[in-house]
Structure 1
Amino acid sequence: MDSLNNYRKLVKQLVTEYAEIPVFDSGTQNATIFDVENDRYMFINIGWSKEQRIHHCVIHIDIIDGQVWIQANNTDRLIAEELVAAGIPPESIVLGLQPPDVRPYTAYGLPCSEMPMAAEECYK
């Protein structure tokens, strides 16, 4: 449970740091969405630009079965590497934005549901 709380803290910190980067379009703003009950963490850009509605998910990270799932990364940065540098082991990070058949060939973990052991024993 201690590692889970640490993962939550690190994910919130990363998402917050990205959301604090100033926006160049005065009609939009950055916002964070932290659903701690369901372990969902997002950074979105919302507003209006040139009479067009902007509602863009920049980063979306979930924590599922004790693993950090990167669901969306619409930045030019490798946030999985940043999470590893912050202290989250690569095997505890799942690239949810990658197709399931590609995930075994990445440097990161597989979902607990795809591991041969029970989910509660995954990466203990």
Structure 2
Amino acid sequence: MKGEDNIDRDRYQVLRAGWLQKKGVYGVLIHIDLRGEKLWVQYDGTEVGVANELMEAGIPKTDIVLAYHSPFIRQYDDFAVG
């Protein structure tokens, strides 16, 4: 977009790409946005859960938003609401 060439968007993704049998595979495994002081987990396709890994790395639950949950559900998930 015009005028946005140098804007940092603070969006991070982990992708997988390769082959499964004879078929090419490509997709997002993790998508996290940084908004203010919070980590917004937009998508988590891992078994362990990226939020758990973030907590093990020392990031408190109050700084992690499970954005893939609706705002209504977030009030009950023990993480930041937003």
TM-score range, shorter chain: 0.7 to 0.9
Identical-pair percentage: 33
Match of 2:3 in 1: none
1:79 aligned partner, one-letter code = V
Shift of 1:53: 3.4
Size of the aligned set, in residue pairs, is 75
Q: TM-score, normalised by structure 1?
A: 0.55
1:72 aligns with 2:43: yes
Match of 1:6 in 2: none
Map Cα deviations across residues 45-92 of structure 1 (whole Å, 9 max, x no partner): 123434433221011111112210111111111221221121111111
1:105 aligns with 2:67: no
CA distance in 2, matches of 1:57, 1:91: 25
Could you tell me which runs of 5 or more consecutive residues in structure 1 were left unpaired when the two chains were aligned. 1-36, 112-124
Displacement over 6 Å in runs of 4+: none
**Helix, strand or coil: the match of 2:53?**
helix
Q: Whose strand fraction is larger, Structure 1's or Structure 2's? A: 2
Higher relative contact order (CA 8 A, sep 6+): 2
Q: TM-score, normalised by structure 2?
A: 0.79
Q: 1:58 aligns with which of 11, 14, 29?
A: 29
CA distance in 1, matches of 2:19, 2:56: 35
CA distance in 1, matches of 2:75, 2:48: 21
CA distance in 2, matches of 1:86, 1:79: 10
